[in-house]
Structure 1
Amino acid sequence: MSGLSEILLQLAVGIVPIGVAYLAFRSATDANKKTQQTALLQAERQAELERTKVDADAYVRAKTIYEDALTQMEKQVARVQSQANQFSSDLATEQSGATAMRDQIRQLQAQIRALERTVNALRNQLLAAGLAPAPASDVTGPYTLGQPPRQRTSE
């Protein structure tokens, strides 16, 4: 039996390293899987970080473009308001000028009517006095009715 015990002992001694090797293999495989999972998680985190950086850069660029556009729009609104104020001022000036001109036109029309009444009154007075008013083309009158205009004689 000593041969059988030795074989069993050798078999037991041989199984222990196989068991240890199996356990080492199993541990290495599990560690390798965990390493791969960790590497995948790190790669995913890195990819997410890169996407976040790209998104942040895009946000900064979009914000800059938006702020520039907003600044330009504010300047344009200020210009339009300035032009509107100038236009309003010009319109008020033109309206006051137009009102003044209308007043002057009314005064002149009243003066023309008064002059026409005066001319008519003077014409009636000339006719009543027996004098003829001057023809429109000759303003050197008055002329006596029935008498020809005086002729100048050279002396």
Structure 2
Amino acid sequence: MMSKPRYWHIAYPLAVTSLCVAPHQYFLCNWTACFEYGLSKMKVQIQLEKLHRIPVLNGIVRLIWTYLYRCQEPLATSTTKLDSLLKHIFPAGRSSIFHHEEHLEPFICIVHFILSRYFDYGLGFCMDLLQEAVVNS
């Protein structure tokens, strides 16, 4: 169903939800692929970005919450995965996140989840974002 563009905005949230309720070993094996698939869909089709943006951002929030709170991995492993994924959400060297920033709640939720689970890592991440904004302006 996700291969058909007509049903994608319904099938992607369904796939994310079913992945989030799956056993945690299955989730750990497949969540990054689902994350990257959603991002690629949002970036490739700029003209349909508004249609795909909200389901993708909501899916990303669900995937990150599930990873942080259901899957217990060592801190080094978690921060390495989060670093690689957050580069896509909060790109370095740009003051804007994406073209249309009218929906900031998912970004706020992502930062909140990271700060509540791994405070030291989240604090460093937020400080890097703030320092980058000061340097670029």
**TM-score if structure 2 supplies the norm length?**
0.20
- Find the structure with the greater CA-based Rg: 1
**TM-score if structure 1 supplies the norm length?**
0.18
Q: Which has the higher helix share?
A: 1
